[in-house]
Structure 1
Amino acid sequence: MFPEAVKLQRRQVVLATVAACVLPVRAAADEFGGDPYRSAQWPEMVKEFLGAAARVEFDPRVQVKGPTQAENPMVVPITVTAPDLHDVQQIMVLVDRNPIRKVLEFEPLAGTQAAISFRFKLEQASAVRAAARTRDGVWHVGGTWVESSGGGCTVSGASRQDGSWAQTLGQVSGRFFGDALDTPGARLRVRVMHPMDTGLVGGIPAFYLRRMAVIDAGGVELLRLSTFEPISENPVFSFDFKGRPPGPFHVTGVDNNGNRIDGQVT
């Protein structure tokens, strides 16, 4: 064989070897869909909750803030904001490693900012994500990682243990922060008394607040909220507004057993 032919053959072998080494790395990166947390659950979560054909982008404008370590896995505080993302129609919060992955869906309506704070139950260390859908149909995803000793979804709450939940079920309380009309950064904080049972504790079926809405004094619906089993017992939610809507505010809702929530916040 001529020397040139030998060189060419060796070069082809080297290129084939390099390709064999590089291609599996690319495939491994793609199987996570560009997920910064490289979660094995994420591709299936996209299909189940966002849609197989959905446009999904990891976007730093969607900010998820929570503790680095969950001191109490039954009450993990999370704040989601997207101040620089325009035309947000819906925010969905998902937790990769929870047995029940969907935590809530939030629709900011008239004058409501794309921002929500709440507390939830965390079963084990996991990525906690917020997916914000804009008017063009794109899901913008942000997240944070929370370490946990675990067990938040499989332990009953205090009111279930002492039986007090039956006396307080459905009670609504709250407060609006921001005294004057059109005060920038006005915030509404609402608490609804409910045991929020996950159904993962022996002998206690799932029992949780399912839907909630806030309506101003003029009958304008300000926001809609769908909540699921991982939300903490006696949930507290905070919502931000561009300016203070006219109060008092009517809080309505229903749980998965059909019990009505009906309260007023001044």
Structure 2
Amino acid sequence: MKRHVALLLALAAAVPVRAGPVVDPLGSPMWTAHARTLFGDDPVRFDPRVKVDFPIIAENQRAFPVVIDARTIPGVRRMILFADLNPIPVAIDYRPVAAAAYVATRIKLDQRTPVRGAVQIDSGEWLVWGGWVDAAGGGCSTPPVSRVKGDWADHLGEIRGEAWPLPGGDSRLRLSFRHPMDTGLVENIAAYHLEEIDVRGADGRPLAEMAIWASVAEDPALTLMPRIGAGERIGIEARDTNGRDYRAQVEVARQSPLPAPPAP
């Protein structure tokens, strides 16, 4: 599987348009090219219900936190996180097969850029939102910390995970992978990154599928919300661009670490 506020609300009329030369509320020079590549001839509109949360300024351009939350939108079947002006624009292409429309991770930023979330709904339409981020740059073109330390191979493929039940039948799954996520933009270091992550129930049923690119931060961290209950086990399978496979299992805790909200 390869695959910013009032002003923006006024500019982003919720009218379906084709993913060609459309007016971008963020004024990005790369919007048209990316829209054509990612969405083709599918209808597209800018929609603030696609919540894309991130800091306005990137304090660490190597690991910039982003959340896409489209849980208020029915029928979400695909979610893409991308940064227009990154040399590797797309970070993740996520399919919440049996999961809430929510994903959080950390990405690299190579310069000031729009960061966007796009979700595709069952009709085939794409809904897009996002904002500009100020970044010093260099996140994609500096070597990973583990490469500088020289210990990356000692921890390659280590997976850590925790999961807690949420009201309504979903669980909150937090995963971290030890991987350098090399972009290929550093001299003498070839591109090498995770490229696929699958999340499954203990019976093998698919919960979530993700394609992942080298613009995701070193040692990828992900938060997902699969539809699976307390006490059940979640299987994690991943593969990198060298064909190495990684596997782990996480059991959903019997109780949330947060207290239940008071009754109304």
- TM-score (norm: length of structure 2): 0.84
Which stretch shows the higher mean deviation, 98-107 or 32-41? 32-41
Residue 205 in 1 paired to residue 194 in 2?
no
Structure 1, residues 63-115: CA drift from partner, whole Å, max 9, x if none?
Answer: 100011000100000000012211111001111110111111000012x1000
Residue matched to 1:8: none
Match of 2:34 among 27, 37, 45: 45
**Is this contact kept in 1: 2:233–2:250, CA < 8 A?**
yes
Structure 1 unaligned segments of length 5 or more: list them. 1-30
Moved over 3 A (4+): 182-185
Residue matched to 2:92: 104
Could you say what secondary structure the match of 2:140 adopts? coil
Distance of 1:164 and 1:95 partners within structure 2: 29
Could you say what secondary structure the match of 1:145 adopts? strand
**Is this contact kept in 1: 2:201–2:228, CA < 8 A?**
no
Residue 125 in 1 paired to residue 112 in 2?
yes
**Is this contact kept in 2: 1:183–1:244, CA < 8 A?**
no
Residue matched to 2:74: 86
- The within-5 A match list for 1:118-157 is 118-157=105-144
Q: CA deviation at 1:49?
A: 1.5
Assess, with a 3 A threshold, how the Cα gap between structure 1 residues 245 and 145 changes in structure 2: closer, same or farther: farther
Once superposed, what is the RMSD of the aligned Cα atoms?
1.6
Distance of 2:110 and 2:246 partners within structure 1: 28
- The within-5 A match list for 1:1-266 is 33-51=22-40, 53-110=41-98, 112-178=99-165, 186-241=171-226, 244=229, 247-266=232-251
Structure having the larger proportion of residues in helix: 1
**Is this contact kept in 1: 2:82–2:116, CA < 8 A?**
yes
How many residue pairs are counted as aligned between the two chains? 232
Distance of 1:233 and 1:247 partners within structure 2: 29
Equivalent residue letter for 2:136: S
Equivalent residue letter for 1:97: L
Structure 1, residues 33-68: CA drift from partner, whole Å, max 9, x if none?
Answer: 1211011110111111111x1211001110100011
Percent of counterpart pairs with the same letter? 33
Equivalent residue letter for 1:203: N
Distance of 2:238 and 2:231 partners within structure 1: 20
- TM-score (norm: length of structure 1): 0.83
**Is this contact kept in 1: 2:164–2:230, CA < 8 A?**
no
Assess, with a 3 A threshold, how the Cα gap between structure 1 residues 216 and 246 changes in structure 2: closer, same or farther: farther
